[in-house]
Structure 1
Amino acid sequence: MRITFITILTLLFSSALKADEGMWLPFLLSDNQIENMQQKGLHIPFESVYSHSQPSLKDAVVSLDDGACTGEFISSKGLLLTNHHCGYNEIQQHSSLEHNYLEDGFWAKSLSEELPNPGKTATLLIEAHDVSTRIGKAVDTLNGSERQLAVDSLIEVIEQEAYERTKLKARVKSFFYGNTYILFLTQTYKDVRLVGTPPSSIGKFGGDTDNWMWPRHTGDFSFFRVYCAPDGSPAEYSPNNIPFTPRKHFQISTQGYQKGDFTMTLGYPGHTQRYLSSFGVKEIKEVVNPVVAEVRGIKQAIWDKAMQRSEATNIKYAAKYSSSSNYWKYAIGQNKAMEKLGVIAQRKDKEASFKNWIGQDSLLEDKYGKLLPVIEASYMLGKKLTHAKTVTEETMLQGTELVGFALEISTLFMELQEHREKPTFKQHKAEVLSTIHSLYKDYDAHLDQQVFEVMLKYYLNNIPESLRPNAESLLGKKYMDDPSGYTSELFKTTAFTNPQKVLALFKTNDEETLFGDPAIAFSYQVLSHVYQIIEVHEKLLIQFKDSQRLLLQGYMSQGHQQSFYPDANSTLRLSYGFVGDYEPKDGVKYKYLTTLKGIIEKENKELTDFNVPIQLKRLYQNKDFGDYQLPNGQMPVCFLTNNDITGGNSGSPVINGKGELIGLAFDGNWEAMTSDLAFETDLQKCICVDIRYVLLVVDKMAQAHNLIEEMDFVEP
Structure 2
Amino acid sequence: MTKKILLSVFLLPATMAFAQQYGGMWIPTELNEKEMKDLGMKISAKDIFNPQKPSIKDAVVQFNGGCTAEIISPKGLLLTNHHCGYGQIQAHSTVENDLLSNGFWAKNMSGELENPGVTVDFIVDIKEVTNQILEGTDHLTEPELSKQIAKNTEVYKNSQKTEPYQSISVKSMYYGNKYYAYTIETFKDIRLVGAPPQSIGKFGSDTDNWVWPRHTGDFSMFRIYADKNNKPAEYSKDNVPYVPKHYLPVSIKDKNENDFTFVFGFPGRTTEYLPAIAVEKIMTEIDPAKIAVRDVALKTLDEKMRADNATRIKYASKYASVANYWKKWIGEAEGLKKSNAVQKKVMYEGSLVSKNPEIKSTIDQLNKLYTDQAPFALNNAYYTEVIRNAETLKLAGDYYNYIAAVEAGRMDEKELAKTKSKLAAFYKDYSGELDAKVTAKLLALYANKTAPQFLPAGFEKYKNENQNIQNIEEISKNSIISGRSEVNGTSLNKDIDKAFSNQDKLIKTLKKDPVYQLYVAMRDTYMAKADPQFTSMQAKIDGLQKTFMAQQMSTDKDRKFFPDANSTLRVTYGKVKGSSPRDAVSYDYQTHLAGVMEKYIPGDYEFDVPKKLIDLYSKKDFGNYKDKTGDVPVGFTATNHTTGGNSGSPALDANGNLVGLNFDRQWEGTMSDINYDPRFSRNIMVDTKYILFIIDKFADSKWLIDEMKVVK
TM-score with structure 1 length normalisation? 0.89
2:75 paired with 1:84: no
Give 2:586's aligned amino acid: K
Does residue 516 of structure 1 match 2:511?
Answer: yes
Q: Identify the residue that residue 437 of structure 2 maps to in structure 1.
A: 450
Distance in 2, matches of 1:319 and 1:201, equals: 15
Q: Does 1:204 align with 2:194?
A: no
The structure 2 residue matched to 1:578, chosen from 575, 578, 589, is: 575
Q: Bigger CA drift: 437-446 or 382-391?
A: 437-446
Secondary structure of 1:257 counterpart: coil
Name the structure 2 match of 1:406: 396
Q: CA deviation at 1:167?
A: 6.7
How many Å separate the matches in 2 of 1:471 and 1:77?
Answer: 62
Cα offsets for 1:19-42 (capped at 9, x unmatched):
52111001123xxx3233234322
Alignment of 1:290-689 (within 5 A): 290-359=288-357, 365=358, 368-396=359-387, 398-408=388-398, 433-464=420-451, 466-471=453-458, 487-498=472-483, 499-500=493-494, 502-510=496-504, 511-513=506-508, 515-516=510-511, 518=513, 519-531=515-527, 533-605=530-602, 607-689=604-686
Deviates more, 1:168-177 or 1:460-469: 460-469
- CA shift, 1:437, in A, is 3.3
Deviation at 1:356, TM superposition (A): 2.4
CA–CA separation in structure 1 for the residues paired with 2:302 and 2:543: 45
Q: Give the number of equivalent residue pairs.
A: 681
CA distance in 1, matches of 2:652, 2:75: 21
Which residue identity is paired with 1:494? S
Report which stretch shifted further, 485-494 or 588-597. Answer: 485-494
Aligned residue for 2:662, secondary structure, equals strand
Aligned 8 A contact 1:338 1:674 in 2: yes
Q: Which residue in the other structure is 1:246 paired with?
A: 244
Q: CA RMSD in A?
A: 2.8
Secondary structure of the 1:657 match is coil
Q: CA deviation at 1:18?
A: 3.7
**CA pair 389-646 structure 1, distance change in 2 beyond 3 A:** same
What is the CA deviation profile of residues 50-100 of structure 1, one whole-angstrom value per residue up to 9, with x for unaligned ones? 01111211111111232x211111122221111111112222222221111
Query: Given the superposition, is the C-alpha separation of residues 163 and 591 from structure 1 closer, same or farther in structure 2, using an over 3 Å criterion?
Result: same
How many angstroms does 1:475 deviate by? 9.9
C-alpha distance in structure 2 between counterparts of 1:186 and 1:145, whole Å: 29
Q: Which moved more, 1:507-516 or 1:207-216?
A: 507-516
Q: State the identity as a percent.
A: 34
Give, in whole Å, the separation in 1 of the partners of 2:115 and 2:452.
Answer: 43
User: Which secondary structure does the structure 1 equivalent of 2:125 belong to?
Assistant: strand
**Residue in 2 aligned with 1:46?**
45
CA distance in 2, matches of 1:459, 1:159: 45
After TM superposition, the structure 1 stretch with the greater mean CA deviation from structure 2, 221-230 or 622-631, is 221-230
Q: For residue 516 of structure 1, give the secondary structure of its aligned residue in structure 2.
A: helix
Provide the rounded CA distance (Å) in 2 between the counterparts of 1:447 and 1:382.
Answer: 35
- Classify the secondary structure of the residue corresponding to 2:83: coil
Q: Deviations over 1:234-253 (max 9, x none)?
A: 34444443333322211111
| C-alpha displacement of 1:270 | 0.6
Flag the 1:571–1:517 CA change in 2: closer, same or farther, 3 A: farther
Check conservation: 1:413, 1:506, Cα contact below 8 A. no
Post-superposition Cα deviations, 1:334-368, rounded to whole Å, max 9, x if no partner, equal: 11111122111111111122222224xxxxx3xx3
Distance 2:292 2:496 in 1: 33
Q: Give the counterpart letter for 1:651 in structure 2.
A: G
**Counterparts of 1:656 and 1:155, CA distance in 2:** 37
Evaluate the alpha carbon distance shift between residue 513 and residue 115 of structure 1 in structure 2; reply closer, same or farther with a 3 A threshold.
farther
Alpha carbons of structure 1 residues 119 and 387: separation in structure 2 relative to 1, 3 Å = farther
Residue type of the alignment partner of 2:511: G
State the secondary structure of the residue aligned to 2:194: strand
Partners of 1:524 and 1:237 lie apart in 2 by: 41
Q: Describe the SS at the equivalent of 2:651.
A: strand
For 1:415 and 1:90, the matched residues in 2 are separated by 30
SS in 2 for 1:390: helix
Moved more, 376-385 or 456-465: 456-465
1:441 deviates by 1.8
Deviation sequence 1:637-674 (CA, Å, 0-9, x none)? 11121111111101110111111111111111122121
Aligned to 2:12: none
Give the 3-state SS of the residue equivalent to 1:710 in structure 2.
Answer: coil
* Cα distance change of structure 1 residues 491 and 76 upon mapping to structure 2, 3 Å threshold: same
Residues 481 and 510, structure 2, Cα contact 8 Å, conserved in 1:
no
**Structure 2 CA distance for aligned equivalents of residues 144 and 569 of structure 1:** 22
Equivalent position of 1:7 in the other structure? none
What does 1:174-323 align with in structure 2 at a 5 Å threshold? 174-323=172-321
User: Which secondary structure state, in structure 2, belongs to the residue aligned with residue 536 of structure 1?
Assistant: helix
After superposition, give the CA deviation of every residue in 1:106-129 in whole Å (9 maximum; x if it has no partner): 111123322233333211111111
Give the structure 2 partner of residue 5 of structure 1: none
- The change in CA–CA distance for 1:535 and 1:133 in structure 2 (over 3 A counts) is same
Residue 4 of structure 2 corresponds to none
| Paired residue secondary structure (2:371) | helix
CA distance in 1: counterparts of 2:629 and 2:295, whole angstroms: 44
Higher mean C-alpha deviation, range 130-139 or range 516-525:
516-525
- Compute the displacement of 1:574 (Å): 0.3
Relative to structure 1, is the Cα distance of residues 117 and 331 closer, same or farther in structure 2, using a 3 angstrom cutoff?
same
Q: Quick one: structure 1 residues 710 and 411, their matched pair in 2 at CA, closer, same or farther if it must change by over 3 Å?
A: farther
Q: Is the 8 A contact 1:144 1:545 kept in 2?
A: no
Counterpart secondary structure, 2:497? helix
Offset at 1:430? 6.5
**Residue 36 of structure 1 corresponds to which residue in structure 2?**
35
Structure 1 residues 458 and 24: alpha-carbon distance in aligned structure 2, compared to 1, 3 A threshold: same
Q: Post-superposition shift, 1:704?
A: 1.5
The CA distance in 1 between the partners of 2:307 and 2:654, in whole Å, is 50
Contact 1:475–1:486 (CA under 8 A) maintained in structure 2: no
1:258 aligned counterpart, secondary structure: coil
Q: Does the aligned pair in 2 maintain the 1:496–1:502 contact within 8 Å? A: no
Closer, same or farther: CA 488–592 of 1 in aligned 2, 3 Å:
closer
Q: Is the 8 A contact 2:276 2:346 kept in 1?
A: yes
Give, as a single letter, the amino acid of the residue that structure 2 aligns with 1:91.
I
State the distance in 2 between where 1:24 and 1:270 align: 13
- Residue 429 of structure 1 and its aligned partner are, at CA, apart by 6.7
Distance 2:440 2:270 in 1: 34
Counterpart for residue 710 of structure 1:
707
Most deviating of 272-281 and 249-258: 249-258
Alignment partners' CA distance in 1, 2:405 and 2:441: 32
> Aligned with 1:663: secondary structure?
strand
> Contact 2:437–2:469 (CA<8 Å) still a contact in 1?
no
Shift of 1:689: 0.7
Q: Secondary structure at the match of 1:374?
A: helix
TM-score (norm 2): 0.89
Larger deviation: 437-446 or 381-390?
437-446
Partner AA of 1:253 in structure 2: S
By how many angstroms is 1:280 displaced?
A: 0.8
Q: Secondary structure at the match of 2:618?
A: helix
Distance 1:402 1:179, change over 3 A: same
Paired with 1:664 and 1:286, the residues of 2 have a C-alpha distance of 33
Q: Are residues 641 and 167 of structure 1, via their aligned partners in 2, closer, same or farther at CA, if it must alter by over 3 Å?
A: same
Cα deviation for residue 303 of structure 1 reads 0.6
C-alpha distance in 2 between matches for 1:20 and 1:487: 52
Looking at structure 1, the residues matched to 532 and 237 of structure 2 have their Cα atoms a distance apart, in angstroms, of 46
SS in 2 for 1:63: strand
